Amino acid sequence: MAGVSSKSLAAALESLEPKLATASIALAQDLFAILEVLDSNAGLRRALIDPTRESADKSALATKLLAGKVGAQAQSVFLDLVASRWSDARDLGDALEVLAATSAIAVAEGQGGGSANLDALEEELFTFIRVVGSSHDLQRALDDGQATAAAKGALALKVVPLASPVSALLIRQAVAAPRGLKPTALVQRFVELVAKRQQRWIAYVSVTRDLSVEQLNRLQAGLNNLYGRDLKINVNIDPTLVGGIKVVVGDEVVDASAATRLSDLRRRLAV
């Protein structure tokens, strides 16, 4: 995905983020259900991304499609997608898949363990990839076009019998609707989304000189307070740094130009 579609996906993820704090797994389930409808109807996909069609018309079509079938939160997310611009009809479905998986991953993240829960989710998904990848019989069974989605899902979950609800959802989705990929390849994409989510728990900090233990503790407390979660701190020494400190957490860069956000951290690091 590139160009205008990539920008639309980035905007959709940014819009989704505030909803994730209170989202349940039902949001991901609903978004995957919408994806199933989209993937089964090429004409619908083309209609929803048609640049010559009025936005209100596309919104009305999407609303009619979803009426009574999904929750209000999923409907809102999808309507935002429909209102965006897409280079190709496939991109709309790809974006919806990313949003659905991200929603599920955020549910695992928010269940009290934070980064540890993401580690556990990643390991469960890796277990599926490893076991299926080592068995030609399993691969053939999961690729069987005659088998029902329910049957393939049940078989897949035998590979990870203690899978969490989020792992189970993502694995079932991968075997039921791999969307042109091998199920293990789609699960690998989900693993990459987990890894991206994990970056929210790591602060890459650049400073101009070594920090004492006391300064590092102050920095840890300041960043935890700033981001509202217990971050892992990775410190890099960069004597050329302008402003004395730079912090990268996930996709967010906070440098000396963001003086109001860093002033407290600089005070904490003062000798």
Q: What confidence tens digit (pLDDT) does each residue in 110-142 have?
A: 876 788 899 999 999 999 999 999 999 999 999
Q: Where are the domains of the chain?
A: 3-198, 199-269
Run of H or E including 254: strand 252-254
Residue in 168, 90, 96 with CA at minimum distance from that of residue 125: 168
Output 243 or 153, whichever has higher pLDDT: 153
Q: What is the mean pLDDT of residues 51-57?
A: 90
Q: pLDDT grade, residue 266 (50/70/90)?
A: low
Burial class (CB in 10 A: 0-12, 13-18, 19+), 227: middle
SS3 233: strand
SS3 55: helix
Q: How far, in whole angstroms, is CA 208 from its chain's centroid?
A: 33
State the pTM of this model.
0.85
The residues facing 205 across adjacent strands are: 235, 247
The residues facing 232 across adjacent strands are: 202
* Contact between residue 150 and residue 177 where contact means Cβ atoms under 8 Å apart: no
E strands present in 136-237: 202-207, 232-237
DSSP strand pairing (202-207 vs 245-249): antiparallel
What residue has token string 């993502």?
170
Q: What is the mean pLDDT of residues 192-208?
A: 90
* Contact between residue 110 and residue 201 where contact means Cβ atoms under 8 Å apart: no
Residue 260 has pLDDT above 80, yes or no: no
Residue 258 has pLDDT above 50, yes or no: no
Run of H or E including 246: strand 245-249
Residue 167 has pLDDT above 50, yes or no: yes
Domain 199-269 in this protein, CATH class: alpha beta
